[in-house]
Structure 1
Amino acid sequence: MSSARTVTRTVVRRLTRWGTASMLVGGVLALPGRTRAFGLQTLMWGAIDLALAAITRGRDKVPQAQTLRRILLVNAALDVGYVAAGAHLAVRTPTFGGRLRPTDARGHGLAVVLQGAALFVIDLTAARRLRR
């Protein structure tokens, strides 16, 4: 079992790497073209991931191991929800009253699936390191 401080540092490092990669790849894919929706969604998730990593890195106090584990498991459950919502968007391709083209809905949905799956791995791996 790892300490909460060690696990927090690992999560911050992984979230920083994933957020940076998401912003770089998303930025390139967001250029006008067929992958614009996927790129925009990926870019936005990357920015949020980096912000969360920065906020967490800046905190002096780390939750106790069991509290941190609970937080990570709740996050993992939310990640499953992101994957499900993204899959729904990608498969059903709703247009939201004509505000979104089906191809864009698919791109946004696939990006959400990818982000949710990656965050699920990060959160669940960290929670497993805090097992009793």
Structure 2
Amino acid sequence: MMNNNFFSFQYHALKPLARWGLGSVIGGAILSLIPGFWRHFGLQAISWGAIDWLLAVAGRRQALLKAEDLALGDIDENEAHAAAERLRNILLINAGLDLLYIGSGLWLIRQAGERTDRRGMGAGILVQGLFLLLFDSILAAEIQRRWIPPSP
């Protein structure tokens, strides 16, 4: 059993992203069979979901290896602290990008007019961006709370 360290936390914290990604791929594949709006919504879900799933799987694998290194003493708590700060910073940058995705989805919906395919694409981007904003923001806040001590 792994010690409770940042890397084991990271391993478990990325599980919802993996589940969202896999669910998006499966749900998107089903929706892509329906013409018009839902087809293009589904294609966005497949694309974004595959990327989310791959990032989560890779991140979980790396976290598991680092957790083992920490437990064996091959790396120390200072490196774990630095990794926590790096991940928090990446998540905060991603949250900013997520706002751009949300805005892009809304813009596409507004510009689509009668084109249901474009509205579906915009709605698909909007939904993925909203999930990622919530995920990235909540995880960054949790890392800040649990792993990064307040500055003096």
- TM bin, normalised by shorter chain, reads 0.7 to 0.9
Q: Which runs of 4+ in 1 moved over 4 A?
A: none
Q: Which amino acid aligns with 2:111?
A: R
Question: Per the alignment, in what secondary structure is the counterpart of residue 33 of structure 1?
Answer: coil
Q: Give the aligned CA root-mean-square deviation in angstroms.
A: 2.1
Q: Higher Cα Rg: structure 1 or 2?
A: 2
User: What are the ranges of 5 or more consecutive residues in structure 1 without an aligned counterpart?
Assistant: 95-100
- 1:39 matched to 2:52? The reply is no
- Superimposed CA distance per residue, residues 16-42 of structure 1 (whole angstroms, 9 cap, x where no aligned partner): 110111111111100042311111111
- Give the aligned partner of residue 74 of structure 2: none
- 1:20 matched to 2:8? The reply is no
The alpha-carbon deviation at position 3 of structure 1 amounts to 5.3
Q: 1:9 aligned to 8, 11, 16, which one? A: 11
Q: Is the 8 A contact 1:45 1:115 kept in 2?
A: yes
Taking CA–CA contacts closer than 8 Å with sequence separation of 6 or more, which of the two structures ends up with the larger relative contact order? 1
The alpha-carbon deviation at position 10 of structure 1 amounts to 3.4
Q: Is the 8 A contact 2:11 2:61 kept in 1?
A: no
Q: TM-score, normalised by structure 2?
A: 0.74
Q: Which amino acid aligns with 1:87?
A: L
Q: Is the 8 A contact 1:11 1:122 kept in 2?
A: no
The alpha-carbon deviation at position 7 of structure 1 amounts to 4.2
Tell me the percent identity: 36
Q: Which amino acid aligns with 1:50?
A: W
User: What are the ranges of 5 or more consecutive residues in structure 2 without an aligned counterpart?
Assistant: 67-79
Change (3 A) 1:9 1:58: closer
Q: Is the 8 A contact 1:7 1:126 kept in 2?
A: no
Q: TM-score, normalised by structure 1?
A: 0.84
